Each structure stands twice: as structure tokens, then as C-alpha cells.
Amino acid sequence: MMRGAGFLAIWSDIERANLTDYRHWLTREHTAERVTTKGFLASRVFRADRADVDRFFILYELETPEVLDGPAYLARLNAPTPWSQRIMPQLGNFVRGGGVVTARTGRGRAAPLSHCGSNICRNRQSASPAILPRSTG
């Protein structure tokens, strides 16, 4: 269950040829850097269960949504590491957005994940889970 009042969500694709470098960057540098930033509580990485694309979803738990406007996060965002500078241009379909956690339900941390690309989620019963937990190590 998410602990904070805010979140940062990031979606992106990576070309198969760059997948190993991306996964190493993500697990060895990027998520560690973010969760040591003031106001960041945790991160979870999901990978789409698809053979045709290497698509990732990263969910960061934040104390509050205002963390994204804070000096600690902006300092890191505006001074990317050399590894981040190499990885970022490789990301396709990149979308980053933050917001307020409005509902919490259930217990545990490993379950299929579904998200809505807008404020309205239509026909949730027929939607196949596009993103499932998977190790990125």
C-alpha cells in the first residue's frame, strides 16, 4: 500500500539493444538516487508483460505532491548524472506525471497493476493488465 500523499509516475520504452544498460542504470543508480531525495519514500518498477516492446512503469511514493516542486528534487532533475544523460535520450514514449493519492485499497506490494491514462477508466473489467511486476535486476 502506498504510504505517502503524493506520487510520481513514469512510463517509457527502451530498445532491446539498450535494455541491459537501462536496467542497470535504473536499479543501480536512478531509483537509489530518487529514494534518497528528500520527500521520496519508495519506488516500484514494473515491466509490461509483452513480447513486442520493452515498456516500463516506475511509481515513486512521495510524502506530498509538493515534493516535485521542492529544491531537493529539482536539483537532481536539473543536474543529471552522466549515466542519466546517456539513458534519457534512449527512452521512447516517455511520460512523467505526478499527483495526489486519492484512494488506497488492499494489502501487499506485488499484484497486477492497472492504470488509467486519464481521470476516467472505462470498462475496467475487459482491460487486460498491460503492466505486471517483474524483476529488473
Domains of the chain: 6-101 (3.30.70.100)
> How high is the pLDDT of residue 59?
93
- Cα–Cα dist 109/50, whole Å: 21
The helix (run of H) or strand (run of E) holding residue 21 is helix 19-25
- Cα–Cα dist 89/91, whole Å: 6
pLDDT at 103 over 60: yes
Instruction: Please write the tens of the pLDDT for every residue from 47-68.
Output: 998 899 999 999 999 999 999 9
- Cα–Cα dist 4/95, whole Å: 21
Which of 13-17, 29-33, 74-78, 108-112 has the least mean pLDDT? 108-112
